[in-house]
């Protein structure tokens, strides 16, 4: 967390910065441990100040600000990072800011409670080396069912674990993987190499549905309240979760099973044992 819907919401929230020029950039003094910002303050200022923002994209779970000279500022939120244009949840966890002129936004802020995220300026070559090719898989909203099957069907890993592999598929994380598999009626421990073609097609179909609906609701704000959109407002998709973080509750799909929590690859998984039986 944040996953594709939350990061796409952040991207859309700062789109008004396109066309603006950067007047200042750098770390915000923070009493907590500093986040990784590359290059250092002086070099970063020298490289980006005066540049125009050409476009704002997304690579998996990262917001990418493309600059006129070809470099890109990459925000990677990891666990608790937020890209904001409004007042942050707290001042003490502000980590980085871009000041702008020539457009409707005065600043873009990066806030990170746990400080696990990073901000990096990458050249076109570095962008290709680090965020394309075999480093980051096809985006979950762009990949076809056939491509997804081809990339995963030989694996003996559980399908839930495979969906989290960002080299195979970019953007899906723990929360949305549980929701997708529930809607498919597929047990999260089912091995990839045992899935049938119609199951791969169902996963792909439900994946698009879940992610697009979550984007429409501007992501999920969980009980810890950490995730916020660019205007520091809560998302709304948490109100549509069917299994995630609902251990012990009656399944809303079948009204028979109770939601179960298990741990896979050190991450919590939620599913209904009635709807999602691991049939051999």
Contact 100, 108 (CB under 8 A): yes
Verify whether residue 3 is a known catalytic residue. Answer: yes
Locus of tokens 């089912």: 190
Verify whether residue 125 is a known catalytic residue. Answer: no
Residue-wise pLDDT for 89-127, tens only, equals 888 899 999 999 999 999 999 999 999 999 999 999 999
Alpha helices (H) along the chain: 4-13, 41-48, 124-131, 145-152, 159-163, 174-184, 197-216
* CA–CA distances in Å: residue 12 to residues 53, 147, 229: 14, 27, 9
Verify whether residue 61 is a known catalytic residue. Answer: yes
| Interstrand relation of 118-122 and 36-38 (parallel, antiparallel or unpaired) | parallel
Q: What's the confidence (pLDDT) of residue 31?
A: 65
Which residue out of 135, 267, 273, 277 is catalytically annotated?
A: 267
Go through the chain and tell me how many residues it has. 280
User: Does 87 score more than 90 pLDDT?
Assistant: no
Domain boundaries, the chain: 4-131, 145-271
Q: What is the reported pTM?
A: 0.95
CATH of 4-131, picked from 3.90.470.10, 3.30.70.560, 3.40.50.720, 3.20.190.10, is 3.20.190.10
So what CATH class is 145-271? mainly alpha
The beta strands (E) that lie in the chain are given as: 21-27, 36-38, 53-59, 62-67, 72-76, 81-84, 94-101, 107-112, 118-122, 260-264, 267-271
Tokens read off for 132: 């394309």
The C-alpha atoms of residue 266 and residue 252 are separated, in whole angstroms, by: 26
* Fold match between domain 4-131 and domain 145-271: no
Which residue out of 47, 61, 113, 157 is catalytically annotated?
A: 61
Verify whether residue 267 is a known catalytic residue. Answer: yes
When the pLDDT of each residue in the chain is averaged and rounded to a whole number, the result is 94
User: Does 240 score more than 80 pLDDT?
Assistant: yes
Q: What's the confidence (pLDDT) of residue 280?
A: 60
């Amino acid at each position: 967390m944040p996953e594709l819907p939350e990061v796409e919401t952040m991207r859309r929230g700062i789109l008004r910065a396109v066309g603006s020029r950067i007047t200042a950039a750098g770390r915000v003094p923070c009493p907590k441990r500093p986040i990784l910002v590359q290059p250092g303050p002086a070099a970063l200022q020298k490289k980006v100040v005066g540049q125009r923002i050409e476009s704002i994209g997304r690579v998996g779970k990262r917001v990418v600000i493309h600059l006129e000279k070809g470099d890109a500022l990459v925000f990677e939120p990891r666990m608790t990072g937020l890209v904001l244009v409004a007042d942050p949840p707290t001042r003490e966890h502000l980590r980085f800011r871009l000041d702008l002129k020539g457009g409707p936004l005065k600043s873009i802020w990066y806030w990170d409670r746990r400080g696990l995220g990073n901000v990096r300026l990458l050249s076109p070559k570095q962008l290709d080396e680090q965020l394309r090719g075999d480093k980051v898989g096809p985006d979950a909203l762009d990949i076809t069912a056939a491509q997804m099957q081809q990339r995963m069907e030989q694996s003996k890993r559980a399908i839930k674990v495979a969906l989290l592999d960002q080299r195979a598929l970019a953007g899906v994380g723990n929360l949305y993987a549980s929701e997708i598999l529930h809607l498919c009626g597929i047990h999260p421990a089912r091995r990839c190499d045992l899935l049938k073609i119609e199951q791969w097609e169902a996963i792909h179909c439900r994946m698009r549905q879940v992610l697009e609906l979550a984007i429409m609701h501007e992501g999920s704000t969980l009980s810890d309240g950490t995730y916020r959109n660019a205007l520091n407002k809560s998302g709304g998709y948490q109100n549509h979760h069917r299994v995630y973080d609902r251990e012990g509750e009656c399944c809303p799909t079948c009204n028979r099973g109770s939601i179960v929590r298990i741990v896979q690859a050190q991450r919590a998984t939620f599913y209904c044992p009635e709807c999602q039986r691991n049939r051999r």
